[in-house]
Copies of this chain bind each other. A is one copy, B any other.
Amino acid sequence: MIKLNESTGNTAILLIHCPDQAGIVAAVTRFLSENQGNILYLDQHVDQDAGVFFMRLEWELDNFTIPLKDLEKQMEPLAGQFKMTWRFYLSGMKPRMAIFVSKIPHCLDDILARYQSGEWEVDIPLVISNHETQKETVRKFGPNFYCLPKNSENKHQQEEQELKLLQDYSINFIVLARYMQILSSEFVRQYKNRIINIHHSFLPAFPGAKPYHSAYERGVKIIGATSHYVTEDLDEGPIIYQDVARVTHRDSVADMVRIGRDLEKIVLARAIHAHLSRKVMVYKNKTIVFS
Tell me the A residues contacting B by CB distance below 8 Å: 22-23, 25-27, 29-30, 32-34, 36-46, 48, 105-106, 109-110, 113-114, 116-117, 119, 137, 140, 202-206, 218-222, 224, 238-244, 246, 248-250, 252, 258, 261-262, 266, 269, 273, 285-289, 291
- Known A40-B46, A109-B117; judge A219-B287 contact (CB<8 A): yes
Q: Which residue, A137, A221, A241, A291, has most C-beta atoms of chain B within 10 A? A: A221
**Chain B residue at minimum C-beta to C-beta distance from A238:** B219
A221: chain B residues at CB < 8 Å are 239-242, 289
A37 to B25, CA, bound (A): 12
List the 9 closest A-B pairs by CB distance, nearest first: A219-B286, A109-B113, A26-B29, A26-B33, A205-B205, A22-B38, A249-B288, A25-B29, A23-B33
What distance in Å separates the Cβ of A80 from its nearest Cβ neighbour in chain B? 18
29 A-B contacts, Cβ less than 8 Å apart? A22-B36, A22-B38, A22-B39, A25-B33, A25-B42, A26-B26, A26-B29, A26-B32, A26-B33, A41-B46, A109-B116, A113-B113, A119-B258, A202-B202, A202-B222, A204-B205, A204-B218, A205-B205, A218-B286, A219-B239, A221-B239, A221-B240, A221-B289, A222-B242, A222-B243, A248-B289, A249-B286, A249-B287, A249-B288
